[in-house]
Amino acid sequence: MLVNHCHVRPAGTMDAANPALGTIEVLREIIDELGIDRAVAFAPSPRGLDGPREANQWLWEQIRDDDRLEGFMTLNPTAPESVAIMQEFAEKGLRGIKTHPPMHHFRIDDEAAYPFYEEAAHLNLPILFHTGVHGWFLEDYTPILIDRITHEFPLLKIIVEHMGGWEFFGEALAVVRNNENCYAGLTSTLDKDWAWYIPQELLQHMISLIGSERVIFGTDYPFRQLDDIRRDIEVAHSICNGPAEAENVLGKSLAALIGCD
């Protein structure tokens, strides 16, 4: 099993009262407990660190000797230094990029991001876009904007994370159906009490439309903890039509996307 979307930070930088929250050490304990073979960890946003290069350097240093953790950079595609940082850490072995438009304050189809998208496609690095209501201006990160990016950069691989949540699920599904280089991210969509919940029958229909080979499970650690992730894995099995689909959703699709066997 290979799971996506694990946020990690240095001890004490996420919650001073709970220094272990979000640490790689706790993530390792969780994947051991749940029998997860490997996980993709995201570099932290710069808060609490010196800047984006330093944040990605920290992640690389933490995981470079750990064959159970793969790394995704966290970058703002419109920031002037991001292309150079991407190139540096792609060479060091990080396998993808996480972006968060409402937190980074960029519009998905801003042409200032085009050099970043072009280089990511050249380096064969998938880009994960957070989608779904998260403050800021909805018009700047509505999932339909990804459709233009896929046509401008047809070799760029994209994970549409959270599939827009309930509010934008239809848009997100349209984008993934329309573009074979797009993948559906299930992170935090499987719990009815969670912000980006999508009813199971809709997710089952989505899998039947696009195929399990383009569906990717994620944990949202540490916002979701051991018992939450265990339940999400159970739900992921339940929305799949048999073990072959579940194998894809719970790791095989992601492994193929990022090139790790």
Q: Which of 13-27, 159-173, 230-244 has the lowest mean pLDDT?
A: 13-27
Name 184's bridge partners.
Answer: 160, 215
Contacts of 77 (CB under 8 A, 6+ apart): 99, 104, 106, 110, 112, 113, 116, 117, 127
Q: How far apart are CA 22 and CA 39, in angstroms?
A: 14
- CA dihedral of 102, 94, 206, 103, whole degrees rounded to 10: -10
Question: Using alpha carbons only, what angle is made at residue 69 by residues 87 and 238, rounded to the nearest 5 degrees?
Answer: 115
Lowest mean pLDDT among 8-17, 25-34, 131-140, 147-156: 8-17
Q: What pTM did the predictor assign?
A: 0.96
Pull the structure tokens for residue 122.
Answer: 């050249």
pLDDT of res. 51: 87
Q: Which of 144, 197, 152 is nearest to 173 (CA)?
A: 144
Give 3-38 pLDDT, tens digit per residue.
999 999 999 888 888 998 999 999 999 999 999 999
Return the amino acid letter for 161. Answer: E
Fold of domain 77-258: TIM Barrel (3.20.20)
Domain ranges of the chain: 77-258
Give the phi and the psi of residue 128 in degrees, each rounded to 5. -100, 125
pLDDT digits (tens, 9 = 90+) for 37-71: 999 999 998 555 668 999 999 999 999 999 999 99
CA pair distance 135, 64, nearest whole angstrom: 34
The pLDDT of residue 87 is above 90: yes
Taking residue 255's Cβ as centre, other Cβ atoms within 10 Å add up to 16
- Per cent of the chain over pLDDT 70 is 98
The pLDDT tens digits for 189-208 are: 999 999 899 999 999 999 99
Q: Contact, 196 vs 166, CB < 8 A?
A: yes
